[in-house]
Chain A
Amino acid sequence: MDFETTLRVLTELAGAIWVTLALAAATLPLGFVLAALATWARASRHRVARMIAVAYVTAFRSTPLLVQIFVLYYGLSQFAWLRESPAWIVLKDPFACAVVAMSLCTGAYTAEVMRGGLAAVPKGAVEAARALGLSPLKVLFLVTVPIAVRRALPAYSNEIVVTLKATSLASTITVMELTGVAKDLMSQTFAVIEVFCMVAAIYLAINTILIMLLRALELRLTPLHERPKPQRTARVARPNAAL
């Protein structure tokens, strides 16, 4: 690839980074809300609510995201009545469709992460809080949630990274994010290896920054006495070293 082409490819890819970030930024909060709803429903007293939540999580965890996107985008548009309904405002737009499909998917996985986090809360801590006479709401926000968040954060970081990578599937429904632009550039320049290595490097850079930020957050949330001690090079004289 000559210099001019490289420059053009890089400029176009740089523009697409924002689309990728926007997809992830719209998907993650929506997915989080869906996951919170599902977690709440799974712990509900009502059987129907529990069943709906379990069905949702199972269905979206057990089918490929690509299939979910296709069903939502190409599948639903087959129904004329749907095209005339207000839902079409969302479904007509490829970006919105991608966000909805990915939110549903990441919501199901995040619900599992939340379940894991809640299960890791020691019963003793909750009982102790109750024994101190804290109200159930206070127990939830002062004891259960802080511990659960700490336990769930490593798994949730993973989910964030996975979601960012999954945005590449949006290119199959015409959203021109990083991978979509890369495919287009590839067919123009034929520089398959070069273009895709650049794309891989961009994803790597974004995710490295994300992972570092999430690590820092994890450390902040860990109480002082549980933080790993900074390692120092030991300068202790070895006994018997002279022998």
Chain B
Amino acid sequence: MYRKLVGLLTALALGASLAGPAAAEEKPEVRIGTDGGYLPWSSMTPAGELTGFDIELAKLVCERMERKCRFTAQPWEGQIPALEQGKYDILVGGISITAERQKRLAFTQSYANLPINFAAAKSAGLNGKSAWPELREALVGKTIGVQSGTQSQRFMDNELKGDVTIRLYDNQDSLNLDLLAGRLDAALAGRSPWIALTGTTQGEGIEILSPDLNFETFNYLGVGVGGLMRKDSDELRKAWDVALCALKKEGEIRRISEHWFGFDISTRADPAVCGA
């Protein structure tokens, strides 16, 4: 029995090594890392399948590139180390393009851009401010939650540090729970999770606060979101960019954006990448 097993394993190993060179000619599949808990960019269906704006877009890109793609869900905080270790080829899922990240890693062109907003309980009466300084004044002394490692946290550190109590969360879901429980006076995130939250029955008492804090007023927030990869994956980045150019021109990104966000967040084709 034991000998038979050893024989079988040897045969399998031989088979694998023979099949090796033949398979190598085909391009290896693209390993995509994504959060899976960041609605509507990247989330899980109850059945455990990944879905969302970035998942749908990445699938379209893979189709264009004629490459096989494999998605793996992993919490955001561990994704960059995993990418650097070579566990993934690219990360997608509402990842903002920033100069700091560009120092160590490379981005595809920006394909979407979304403002960030504060959200708070309707009963707090914080809504209706027309400009940021006015809202800032109303927020002083409050406890405000934000997901760590996001552009929203950056905003908090730059604009409010010292004047408010900042609480950091590992993910948007925990942030939502504490906002709903009333442990937080307000919370800051991209506009999209708030749209998702206020659309649920639980989130009825929550409202999105004006004004929209967009990337144009606070330029350190970057030019939008892109796919994140290592600097050495030039070939994949170029192929990904070419596919994005085509999808932008055909209005495909606008279409899926309207499906997932309810409005158009796609950015224009980057002339430096796509040509005129």
Judge whether B81 and A192 touch: CB under 8 Å: yes
Which residues does chain A contribute within 8 Å of B170, judged by CB atoms? Answer: 172
CB nearest to B145 among chain A residues: A174
State which residues 135-185 of A face B: CB under 8 Å. 172, 174, 176, 180, 183-184
CB distance from A82 to the nearest CB of B (A): 10
CB nearest to B78 among chain A residues: A192
Which residues does chain B contribute within 8 Å of A176, judged by CB atoms? Answer: 168
A92 at the B interface (CB under 8 A): yes
B177 at the A interface (CB under 8 A): yes
B77 at the A interface (CB under 8 A): yes
A74 at the B interface (CB under 8 A): yes
Judge whether A187 and B81 touch: CB under 8 Å: no
Judge whether B181 and A83 touch: CB under 8 Å: yes
CB distance from A77 to the nearest CB of B (A): 4
Complexed CA–CA distance, A183 and B81 (Å): 12
Mask, B159-174, CB within 8 Å of A = 1, is 0000000011110001
CB nearest to A186 among chain B residues: B77
A62 at the B interface (CB under 8 A): no
CB distance from A103 to the nearest CB of B (A): 20
* Contact of B149 (CB < 8 Å), options: A174, A180, A187: A187
Tell whether A183 pairs with B145 under 8 Å between CB atoms, given A78-B181, A174-B169, A190-B104: no
Complexed CA–CA distance, A92 and B143 (Å): 12
Complexed CA–CA distance, A188 and B156 (Å): 13
CB nearest to B157 among chain A residues: A188
Complexed CA–CA distance, A78 and B173 (Å): 13
Tell whether A190 pairs with B80 under 8 Å between CB atoms, given A74-B177, A83-B182: yes
Complexed CA–CA distance, A186 and B80 (Å): 10
Judge whether A187 and B148 touch: CB under 8 Å: yes
Mask, A73-86, CB within 8 Å of B = 1, is 01001100001000
Which residues does chain B contribute within 8 Å of A172, judged by CB atoms? Answer: 170
Which residues does chain A contribute within 8 Å of B149, judged by CB atoms? Answer: 184, 187
Mask, B78-112, CB within 8 Å of A = 1, is 00110000000000000000001100100000000
State which residues 160-203 of B face A: CB under 8 Å. 167-170, 174, 177-178, 181-183
Mask, A59-89, CB within 8 Å of B = 1, is 0000000000000001001100001000000
* Contact of A74 (CB < 8 Å), options: B77, B168, B174: B174
Complexed CA–CA distance, A176 and B182 (Å): 19
Which residues does chain A contribute within 8 Å of B167, judged by CB atoms? Answer: 94, 174
CB distance from A176 to the nearest CB of B (A): 7
Complexed CA–CA distance, A184 and B183 (Å): 21
Judge whether A184 and B182 touch: CB under 8 Å: no
Judge whether B77 and A183 touch: CB under 8 Å: yes
Complexed CA–CA distance, A195 and B170 (Å): 18
CB distance from B69 to the nearest CB of A (A): 25
Which residues does chain B contribute within 8 Å of A192, judged by CB atoms? Answer: 80-81
Chain B CB within 10 Å — which of A83, A94, A174, A188 has the most? A174
Which residues does chain A contribute within 8 Å of B177, judged by CB atoms? Answer: 74, 77-78
Rank and list the top 3 A-B pairs by shortest CB-CB distance, nearest first.
A187-B149, A77-B181, A174-B167
A selection of 21 A-B contacts at a CB cut-off of 8 Å is: A74-B174, A74-B178, A77-B177, A77-B181, A78-B177, A83-B181, A94-B183, A174-B145, A174-B167, A174-B168, A174-B169, A183-B77, A183-B168, A184-B148, A184-B168, A186-B77, A187-B148, A187-B153, A190-B100, A190-B104, A192-B80
